[in-house]
Structure 1
Amino acid sequence: MAGAGTARRRAAVMVARTALAGVLGSLALLAASPAVATAALPAADTTPVPVLVDSTVDQVAAALKQDPVIVEQVMGNGDAAGAHDRLRDVIDGSDAPIYVVIGSTPRGLGESDPANDLAVRLRSRLGAGIFIIALTHGPPRHAAWGVPEATQYSNAVYDAYKKMLPLAYPDVDWETYDSENRPRGLSDVAYAQIAATVAAGGAPWGIDDTALEEIATASWAPLPEELPRSYDAATPGGRWVVGTVVGLSVLLVGLRLVLWATASRKARQRSTAEATALTPTRLDLADLVARAERTTTKLADELAGASSSPYADAAVGYRTAAEAVLRDLEDLSLPEDKARYGTQLRDAVGALVLANAGRHELGRAGKGGGTERYVPCFFDPLHGRAFHTVSAPGRAAVDVPACRRCSETVSSGGTPRALIFPPVRRRQLRPYYEESTVWARTGYGALDDELWRAVVADRAGVDR
């Protein structure tokens, strides 16, 4: 065991050293970048510019107010003007506002899922509507706010996309094809045309076979062999921004590993008596889901009247993440199905925290940012907001946010009662933060400033 502990410490130190080298290398790129070394970043404005990669979200929103369809040549599959006109023909006259953006990735978006991030931010600037986004980085996305049966709209687009693949590639035997040699899929303009056609039809959402076949057999429907996915990597400052962010992230992870690895083994290991005394937290799945749904509904109502601001952007993100989690909780499990029931309990707590955090962000907007972000108690997020920082018991030099009750417990030499979910097997009984879920990694937002991004990325299967 001693050898294993030494190995962990060495590995952690190596991670930190490697990350530090990466940061230094990134700083060297920064110094070598003339766009950064010679001038400060220009002040933000709302003047539309033709190239999305040089635009801010505000500029994209301003451009969409003039024309709800943006198709850049870099993503137009050889006919950007034609793609633009086809999309305008479809969406003009629709009951709900429909916005389409196909092009290079604008500045200031999250790296894990920029299309979804842009949709969320545009929603806070343009109001309710349907947003169809395809960028040079990440998968395309479609999102709807303020329309009937928004979830059904999303499902209808996915169903149409899957139905269209055999039409676009009729020579493929889709029941016996070799997955390694499958067709590349559909182009971004074809995806947008499907999503826009479904959106323009309104509820009940769908697309007729004739329209679907017309899109599928068009010359612009198949995905091109060469994709401009590195387009914005060559922009001024792009290399050093990515390198520095990645380097700093790895450095922080490495330092955290060092702190964890060098903590006293004796302090980190619970005694047999203490481990035996652990009991699951009493939780009611149906009640948690109901509370999360009520809070998310309140958040949606408050967002409808909110003005555009960075806090409103964040609130929309939290609402999007909460709704995504709640969609997976429509069919609740019974406690007898231990694995699925446990997963749903974790998600229900997460949905409630996300909704509370979103409402708090809107409150910050009303106070001009005068309050801190919503940070839940690390030990049990159901305790509410954390107002103190304490050293985590058993983790040397690791400070975590805590509510007043948990803070007082630590101050008196005790161990706070942590959130513990019912395990599949008794020997797996442990505090939630020792698990390997996105909720554990983020401490339900106690350890992550933007919980909603982590949740969206996790559900999309993207590393953040």
Structure 2
Amino acid sequence: MFSDLKRLAVLAVVSLATLFVAVAPAAAQAPGAPSPGQKIADALRESPVHVDAAYADSVPPARRKQLARQIEKTGLPIKVALVPLVQGDAYDGESDVFAEVVRDRLDQHELILITGGDRWTGDLHGFEWPGEKQQARDAVSTVGFLDEMKDAGLSEQTAKAIELIARGDGTKAYEEATADLGDGSDSGSLPRPEAAEKESGSSWLLPAIVAVSVAAAGLFLFVGVRRRGRRRSGPHRYPSATGSPFAFPQAVFAAARTADEEALRRQTEAEVLALGEAVRSAGTSTTGLQRALDAYAAAGTVLDSARGLPDLAGVLALVAEGRDALEGAASPLPLCFFNPLHGRADLRIRWRPLGRRDQLHIAACEECGAAVRTRRAPEVLTDDFEGRRVPYFEVPAAQSLWAATGYGSLLRDAEGEGDGLADDGLAVRVGRGEFPRGQG
């Protein structure tokens, strides 16, 4: 039932995208010119493998022919469309929307489609119509979790995806590949895509339909006005790893959701002062007292010269580091890698950034973790770089302490072990003068 409703919502977004193209200024698309989706569909009729120019070096022509021959041997209606998806493009960076557009233009009843990942995950996505006979979605998702694919390029990943689809046991392969995920705590491993969809169905579907309706109405009123970023809703806390009631007040998140920098700055100042009071009240025998003092001093340093939300988020990360030191928290998880304003991370996941061959072990909140697992784009904190807004972690590490450290996520070892308060902690780096610079 929910899958049908979600499909309807995706189709509504596709329809809205088509409507936008129809009423957009002529400069955006020449009259009579085929749409991007139509061009891709036309290319897939000529060859089962279409590669965008952005991936030309990763999948050269000779390799495309090999992939096409591999597909032909399977006897399955497999198509490969490797196209970079970016938030704000014709598909809003969503692979689901892109897949529906391509399928609609192909007008092919039986179809298995492998697409390039969205902007944030960078992984391949699999789609199948009708039904899931070949378990394509799980088969393609498995690729990103196989150790043998850790350093594989895009062409090798695509070949592996085709191989797994042909085997027809994608769900089993997926469950085996993800059996050991999670941080080993009570948070457990990430839910399977289908389970996450069911759990988040009621919270996702209504806002999606409402958003589509509102956007459709606004389109006729203000053609060309850019879509505003999505906002989080609902209460969020920063619970400590020890379970103590360390939580930033709701005003912090209210300010973050409305991007009210001044309001967030005031709340952040209050948190730094509260940490200072906690440090002064701590006994001299407190094990982590010196680390907490360092975090307090570093938070003040960053706050004094904070220039935007990324720096204010860094202050909160330092406050969390100081609180953890006072509480003696064992192996505390840092704030959410994708957006530290989401609060404390719930678990660690493996994630491959777009354009990188290796995977990172990062800490994510429950919502962002579910987004990555279900091949959706998590809400990411952005920063200014060369006159444009980019995900903060795309700023060169030499120019941003936050990009270099992931607000603490990238300071842990590959398995997420360690107490997170060692000599390479955020406070120590600020003390060494690495703010506002990165690690070089």
Greater relative contact order: 1 or 2 (C-alpha under 8 angstroms, separation 6 or more)? 1
Q: Name which one, 1 or 2, has greater alpha-carbon Rg.
A: 1
Give the number of the structure whose residues are more often helix, by fraction. 1
Q: Tell me the TM-score normalized by structure 1.
A: 0.35
